[in-house]
Amino acid sequence: MLNPEGRVILVSGSSRGIGQAIADRLLRSGFTVSAGLRRPGAAPAHPRLTAYRYDADHDDSAREWIAGTIRDFGRIDGLVNAAGILKKTPLIDSDQAELFDAMDRMWQVNVKGPVALVRAAWPHLMACGEGRVVNVSSLSGKRIRTETVAYSMSKYALMALHHDIRRIGWPHGIRATALCPGAVNTAMHDSLDPSSRAQITQPEDLAELVDVALRLPNNASVAEILVNWQHEAMF
């Protein structure tokens, strides 16, 4: 396993939900966390956490975050793409303008955001020889079960990006893992009753898996981690 001490990991979407749980877990493991937030002033104080402004809606934001991290730390060892949004829009029983707007928003945040971050971080991930990328996707990027076709389309696209990262990064020591959970106890599932929220997957458990993926050596790469709180035949 790789030693986390001194390794700098970027985490997007770390102000809440899965991203926040990942950042907290990595700090406990000994990583240095560069957190990308829309409001960096709201980040908790920690000697190994530095917050930078990152907004997936602005194309220059990724480059500025990467540049700030290199300026302050001189290296980037890993990237966790945890920022994402979900808008429920049925394929047929919805207004087309509303559906297309939702598709555009989720494409920007769930797909173009990770693309911009990977491109900006790439030379630094290559330079360390043991670069790591974790893409927080979803089981909705593996199958369709609910009225969230636009969200699923964005997560399928993220999975395509993920496997291209694995392909082109392999000769340079870059290893990528996609984390694909089902329902998770975050704000995305606020509509669930309290008893259901206690039963579904917890963000802290997903954070443990990300921690492991970032520390695995180059010769023990895990391409995808599919996680669910209930049985599905595909697993």
Q: pLDDT tens-digit profile of 55-76? A: 999 989 999 999 999 999 999 9
For the residues 121-142, what does the mean pLDDT come to? 98
DSSP 5: T
Considering the four listed CATH numbers 3.30.420.40, 3.40.50.720, 1.10.569.10, 3.40.50.12780, the one that applies to the domain covering 8-227 is: 3.40.50.720
Range name among 42-51, 123-132, 186-195 with the lowest pLDDT average: 186-195
Token pair of 232 as six digits: 């599905």
**pLDDT tens for each residue of 169-185:** 999 999 999 999 999 99
To the query of whether residue 151 is one of the catalytic residues in this protein, the response is yes
What is the distance between the alpha carbons of residues 47 and 37, in angstroms, rounded to a whole number? 17
How many residues belong to the chain? 235
| Mean local confidence (pLDDT), 99-121 | 98
Q: Of 161, 134, 166, 143, nearest to 11 (Cα)? A: 134
Q: State phi, psi for 184 to the nearest 5 degrees.
A: -130, 145
Given a cut of 70, whether residue 2 has pLDDT beyond it is yes
Distance CA 221, CA 114 (A): 20
Burial 110-129 (b: 16+ CB within 10 A, else e): bbbbbbbbbebbbebbeebe
β-bridge partners, 150: none
Asked if residue 78 lies in contact with residue 10, where contact means CB atoms within 8 angstroms, the answer is: yes
The tokens describing 171, both together, are 């000769």
pLDDT of 192 > 80? The answer is no
